[in-house]
Amino acid sequence: MPATPEELFEKLDALGITYETHHHAPVFTVDEAQAHTDHLPGGHCKNLFLKDKTGDLYLVVCLQDTAVDLKAFRKLVGARNLSFGKPELLWEVLGVEPGSVTPFSLINDTDRLVMVILEKRMMAHDLLNYHPLRNTMTTQITSSDLEKFIEGCGHQPRILDLPERT
């Protein structure tokens, strides 16, 4: 079974990570999230769960206004024919449903199948905002604690300047 938000918070506590969680109505898009969380300080983020032709999986975590150029991104990381991962694969690997994709879902990737890409521009923010496995809450965390959490889940994130569509 995938981790619950409560189990996520226990892991954050065990890692000595400070966080603050805000409850809100369910949100499924960046626009919907803005209506409920824009007042929160820090970078507001989105997450892309991608799969390439060879089966490699990527979690791209970036600011909500970043328009990632997937063709250029593919070349940057050496992927082949990227597409968005299907909901079934998302559930199987990260234990979340569409609309709840988050770097916190790496708690469920115990086989370390996902390559984690963090946007350099996003990581310049002191505070960052993500769903804690459910899209009815937003959890604030520092960028350094985000890295600590990801590493605590056994992943080594890559921090990259993401290519944007023009």
* 124: exposed, middle or buried (Cβ count in 10 Å: 0-12, 13-18, 19+): exposed
More confident residue, 166 or 21: 21
Mean pLDDT in the chain? 95
Rounded CA-CA distance 75/163 in Å is 10
Question: What pLDDT, on a 0 to 100 scale, did the predictor assign at position 39?
Answer: 87
CA angle 28, 29, 32 (to 5 degrees): 90
pLDDT tens track for 96-152: 999 899 999 999 999 999 999 999 999 999 999 999 999 999 999 999 999 999 999
Give the DSSP per-residue string, 74-140: HHHHT-SS-EEPPHHHHHHHH---TT---GGGGGG-TT--EEEEEEHHHHTSSEEEE-SSSTTEEEE
Question: How far is Cα 102 from Cα 105, in angstroms, rounded to an integer?
Answer: 5
Residue pair 101/90 in contact (Cβ under 8 Å)? The answer is: yes
What pLDDT, on the 0 to 100 scale, is given for residue 142?
Answer: 98
What does the alpha-carbon distance between residue 15 and residue 152 come to, in Å, rounded to a whole number? 7
30: confidence class by pLDDT, cuts 50, 70, 90: confident
Instruction: Set out the domains of the chain in order of their start, with CATH numbers.
Output: 5-160 (3.90.960.10)
Instruction: Report, as an integer, the average pLDDT of 9-14.
Output: 98
